[in-house]
Amino acid sequence: MTTITESRDQRLARMLGLVVWGGAAFAWLVPLAAKLLVDLPWTTEDFVGWGIMLLVAAGICEVGLRLSGQLAYRAGVIVAVGTSFLITWSNLAVGIIGNENNPLNQIFFGVIASALMGAFAVRFRPKGMALVMAVTAAAQFGTAFVALAYEHIVFAIVGVFSLGWLLAAWLFREAARAEASRMAA
């Protein structure tokens, strides 16, 4: 039975890895196609930067997918990395508060950094990751009050980011519960 489960877990990890890397490749090709079809004002540096962001996100997902055989944990990794990616992309592209040159936008990178430091502090264990993601969601929501002083729409955008962190927290909590029940059995 163990070899069947291990082989199923390995197949799932490979499949999720293919989805992540395939999604990254597709995401890189979308602006390339847009540039060929319409007048997209992207430079070579834009494509290189976009590619680097996608490679980093997919690479982190790949490592995270190998940390646990549980689907909830793996989904939590993908949601957390995806949330970080969306924050980074929107912040670098146009800025979340004002434009990309507004120094207040650095607080959003601080939220991502605190999530990463927290993940290392709890050694990427599911129960600790659930707590780290919940604290990160609270920190992210806290940025909304800074942003609210500048633009009201930012409050909604930050709310979406906070929901991403909360979803990751819930997924890691589910992985921790499954781990605890497996240990008890």
Q: Report domain extents, the chain.
A: 1-66, 70-185
Give the pLDDT of residue 1: 47
Which residue stretches of the chain have pLDDT < 70?
1-6
8 A C-beta contact, residue 83 and residue 165: yes
Whole-model pTM over 0.95: no
Q: Which two tokens stand for residue 129?
A: 């990751």
62-115 confidence digits (pLDDT tens)? 999 989 889 999 999 999 999 999 999 999 988 888 888 889 899 999 999 999
Give the pLDDT of residue 5: 57
8 A C-beta contact, residue 112 and residue 84: yes
